[in-house]
């Protein structure tokens, strides 16, 4: 009996040691919040009632990036069969007093590509945060990018190639799911209380979903990290634009076949062959278009060492800048986006494209002063249509 008891005690000790090893391994996981998460970000507390941390742009960027990281980890937790006890994802939203209210699933492979996180008032009350801090969104739709893991890599790469070929994800089942989810929470909480965010492929999806909703008059806050800026369609369009501009210049220098008249100058040729967006809008709405037309202003975060998103920093070409002076094409007052560029020098691609850089302590961001050619092109269609009736519904 004593021998058997000793054996049982030994087995129990071994099991306890094994459990401790498992706990230590989970604690030391590279994606655990306390290992790779932001270091100097305070949790919401009663002081936020006086001076909200969410009013700080750096704090907001950091927390939103953490929410996107949570979506990556939700899918990893699913793939690696983690339970609620050892899941990695929850810490990435619970720390900031949010809760998971919905996951977006790709019906093609069952993978999770997005999630809706909502303000958790009960968790906030536990830390004496009586009301939601000013600037904190009631709901955030976060969308992950490509995850190079067996169960999901096929569908992720499929959408990558779709964007590479057509510069659009509207044919993807993910676009429909994300659009419906964003519209739903915007109608429930009011668009001013909602945010959409994404990284890499997810940023491209978020940009298109936010733009589609803006066309319906619903303007939500948007934060896009390393959005894709390369596509075959864009390259062909660039070639076509250059060829078209060269033809217009050549045509303006040729003598007219009708009655003799002075050949128009280069600048005059540009003006005659292009209908300025501002003039067109003025013709429809009158002189005060820029005052009455509300803008959707997404926030884009790019790194020049990341070849996937670096083309967002390409400025408008000289001829387009000259045309802008004559009110040809969208003006800075009409097409708007806040473009933040990482200024850290040369970096390796994986580091430059990674999400973790956006909450690092040594982050050095600069707001781009030049007008981005790609942003102007992507948002131009928002301001070439009559302003839709804005939807603003609020609910306590």
Instruction: Using DSSP, state whether 338 is helix, strand or coil.
Output: strand
pLDDT of residue 4: 52
Rounded Cα gap, residues 307 and 209, in angstroms = 23
| Residues of the chain with confidence (pLDDT) below 70 | 1-27, 166-167, 231-294, 316-335, 369, 383-396
Q: What is the pTM of this model?
A: 0.74
pLDDT of residue 114: 97
Within 10 angstroms of residue 327's Cβ, the number of other Cβ atoms is 15
- Would you state the structure tokens that stand for residue 21, as one six-digit string? 């090893």
Question: Nearest CA to 330 among 393, 390, 374, 366?
Answer: 374
pLDDT of residue 326: 38
Question: Nearest CA to 61 among 359, 267, 297, 318?
Answer: 359
pLDDT of residue 125: 92
Surface-to-core class of residue 82, CB atoms within 10 Å of its CB (0-12 exposed, 13-18 middle, 19+ buried): middle
pLDDT of residue 49: 76
Report the largest interatomic distance among the alpha carbons of the chain, rounded to a whole angstrom: 119
- If residue 321 lies in a helix (H) or strand (E), which one and from where to where? helix 318-325
pLDDT of residue 381: 74
CA atoms within 13 A on the CB side of 327: 8
What would the pLDDT profile of 160-204 be if each residue is shown by its tens digit? 787 777 667 777 889 999 999 999 999 999 999 999 999 999 999
Rounded Cα gap, residues 75 and 86, in angstroms = 14
Strands (E), the chain: 98-105, 112-119, 139-143, 194-199, 221-225, 299-303, 338-342, 365-367
Burial 358-386 (b: 16+ CB within 10 A, else e): bbeeebebeebeebbbbbbbbbeebbeee
Task: For the chain, give the number of residues.
Answer: 396
pLDDT of residue 5: 55
Check: CB of residue 200 under 8 Å from CB of residue 214: no
Residue 154 Cα to chain centre, angstroms? 22
Residue 367 Cα to chain centre, angstroms? 16
């Amino acid at each position: 009996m004593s021998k058997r008891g000793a054996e049982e005690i030994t087995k129990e000790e071994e099991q306890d040691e094994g459990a401790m090893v498992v706990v230590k391994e989970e604690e030391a996981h590279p994606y655990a919040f306390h290992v790779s998460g932001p270091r100097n970000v305070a949790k919401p507390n009663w002081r936020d009632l006086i001076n909200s941390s969410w009013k700080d742009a750096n704090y907001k960027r950091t927390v939103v990036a953490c929410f996107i990281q949570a979506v990556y980890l939700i899918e990893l937790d699913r793939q690696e069969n983690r339970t609620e006890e050892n899941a990695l994802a929850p810490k990435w939203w619970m720390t900031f007093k949010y809760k998971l209210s919905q996951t977006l699933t790709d019906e093609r492979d069952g993978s999770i590509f997005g999630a809706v996180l909502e303000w958790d008032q009960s968790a906030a009350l536990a830390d004496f945060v009586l009301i939601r801090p000013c600037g904190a969104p009631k709901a955030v739709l976060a969308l992950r990018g490509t995850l190079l893991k067996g169960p999901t890599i096929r569908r992720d790469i499929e959408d990558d190639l779709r964007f590479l070929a057509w510069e659009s994800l509207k044919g993807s089942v993910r676009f429909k799911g994300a659009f419906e989810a964003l519209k739903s929470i915007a109608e429930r909480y009011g668009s001013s209380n909602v945010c959409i965010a994404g990284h890499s492929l997810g940023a491209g999806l978020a940009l298109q979903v936010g733009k589609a909703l803006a066309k319906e008059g619903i303007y939500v806050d948007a934060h896009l990290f390393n959005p894709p800026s390369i596509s075959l369609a864009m390259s062909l369009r660039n070639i076509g634009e250059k060829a078209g501009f060269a033809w217009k210049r050549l045509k303006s220098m040729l003598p007219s076949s009708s009655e003799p008249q002075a050949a128009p100058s280069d600048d005059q040729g540009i003006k005659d062959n292009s209908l300025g967006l501002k003039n067109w809008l003025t013709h429809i709405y009158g002189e005060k278009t820029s005052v009455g037309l509300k803008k959707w202003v997404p926030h884009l975060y790019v790194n020049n060492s990341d070849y996937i998103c670096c083309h967002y920093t390409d400025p408008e070409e000289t001829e387009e800048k000259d045309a802008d002076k004559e009110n040809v094409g969208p003006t800075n007052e009409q097409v708007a986006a806040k473009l933040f560029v990482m200024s850290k020098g040369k970096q390796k691609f994986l580091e430059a494209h990674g999400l973790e850089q956006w909450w690092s302590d040594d982050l050095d961001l600069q707001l781009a002063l030049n007008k981005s050619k790609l942003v102007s092109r992507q948002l131009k269609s928002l301001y070439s249509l009559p302003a839709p009736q804005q939807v603003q519904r609020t609910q306590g």
